[in-house]
Amino acid sequence: MFVRTESFKEFIRYYPVVSVIIFLHIMIYMLTSIPAIFPSASIFESLMGVNLYIVQGEYWRLVTPIFVHSGIAHMLFNSFSLVLFGPGLERILGKSRFILLYLATGVLANVATLILKPLTYTHVGSSGSIFGLFGIYLAIVFLRKELMSRQNSQVILTIAVIGVIMTFLQPNINITAHIFGLITGFILGAIQIGRGRALTESIRNISLRRSSYSAGKRQFHAKHLIWIAIALLALLGLLGGF
């Protein structure tokens, strides 16, 4: 579920929502960070989360920070995490429910940041939504154990525990967004997995597709190295506090 074996074209075809989100990450970073395109930082300032401006009526700032990042490392690591953990849920939930839950967990994490942080607090990044994905996976692990293999469950539990621990140890982290993203992801995920038959069929189909694919491709191709590198970078991003 978390090891990518698709080609670039296959990835885009199988996971269009994840692909579009990553495209937005890259494009918005270019628009807000490359002086040759836009000499001023006005776009970045208009999209970032600023609690003071939100309470003054600029409510779009509850959504736009999900797609804005403070630097190339921040953008790349969050995108790598999405590549690693997003596809499985996009196939399980379907495109519409996946994007709805991704945005909902990010927005609710930003609402919690608005309520619990000072008015002067500013923030950017998709980590609230990414922790929301972890929360959805945890809901599957704890509430519908039969729907996920033991190996994948261990991967999710390990990453979630490490992510929460590092949230409190690393500087410059929006702890509120991480924790509330995780909590809201678990709650919303629990609601979604109540629709058991559709979810069970989705996971069963993914497992069968993976088994068939693996049986036909035993050779270790260079593209596997790319996905392994992406996975390692995603984990380093979680541990590095970007």
Radius of gyration for the alpha carbons in the chain, expressed in angstroms and rounded:
18
Q: What residues pair up with 127 in beta bridges, in sequence order?
A: none
pTM over 0.85: no
DSSP structure class, residue 150: H
Which CATH number do you get for residue 62? 1.20.1540.10
Q: In this structure, are residues 122 and 48 in contact, taking their beta carbons and an 8 Å threshold? A: yes
DSSP structure class, residue 37: T
Q: What integer pLDDT is reported at residue 213 of this predicted model?
A: 43
Write phi, then psi, for 232 (nearest 5 degrees): -65, -40
Q: Evaluate whether residue 109 is within a structural domain.
A: yes
Q: Where in the sequence numbering do the catalytic residues fall?
A: 127, 178
Write phi, then psi, for 123 (nearest 5 degrees): -160, 150
Identify each DSSP E strand in 118-199 by its residue range: 122-123
DSSP structure class, residue 40: S
Q: Evaluate whether residue 17 is within a structural domain.
A: yes
Q: In this structure, are residues 185 and 131 in contact, taking their beta carbons and an 8 Å threshold? A: yes
Domain count, the chain: 1
Identify each DSSP E strand in 91-172 by its residue range: 122-123
Q: In this structure, are residues 158 and 91 in contact, taking their beta carbons and an 8 Å threshold? A: no
Among 104, 114, 112, 108, CA closest to 49: 114
pLDDT in tens, 95-142: 999 999 999 999 999 999 999 999 999 999 999 999 999 999 999 999
Q: What integer pLDDT is reported at residue 71 of this predicted model?
A: 85
Q: What integer pLDDT is reported at residue 33 of this predicted model?
A: 78
- pLDDT means per 10 residues, the chain with 242 residues, are 81 96 94 66 87 96 95 88 91 93 97 96 94 95 85 86 84 90 96 64 51 43 52 54 44
Question: Using alpha carbons only, what angle is made at residue 85 by residues 83 and 86, rounded to the nearest 5 degrees?
Answer: 70
Q: Evaluate whether residue 2 is within a structural domain.
A: no
Domain span holding position 144: 8-240
Q: What integer pLDDT is reported at residue 173 of this predicted model?
A: 87
Q: How far is CA 152 from CA 2, 156, 190, in A?
A: 8, 6, 18
pLDDT in tens, 199-217: 555 555 554 444 444 444 4
Pairing of strands 49-50, 122-123: antiparallel
Q: Evaluate whether residue 3 is within a structural domain.
A: no
Q: Evaluate whether residue 87 is within a structural domain.
A: yes
Unique residue bearing structure tokens 């989100």: 21
DSSP structure class, residue 70: S
Q: Evaluate whether residue 1 is within a structural domain.
A: no
Q: Evaluate whether residue 177 is within a structural domain.
A: yes
Tell me the three state secondary structure of residue 225: helix
Q: In this structure, are residues 128 and 106 in contact, taking their beta carbons and an 8 Å threshold? A: yes
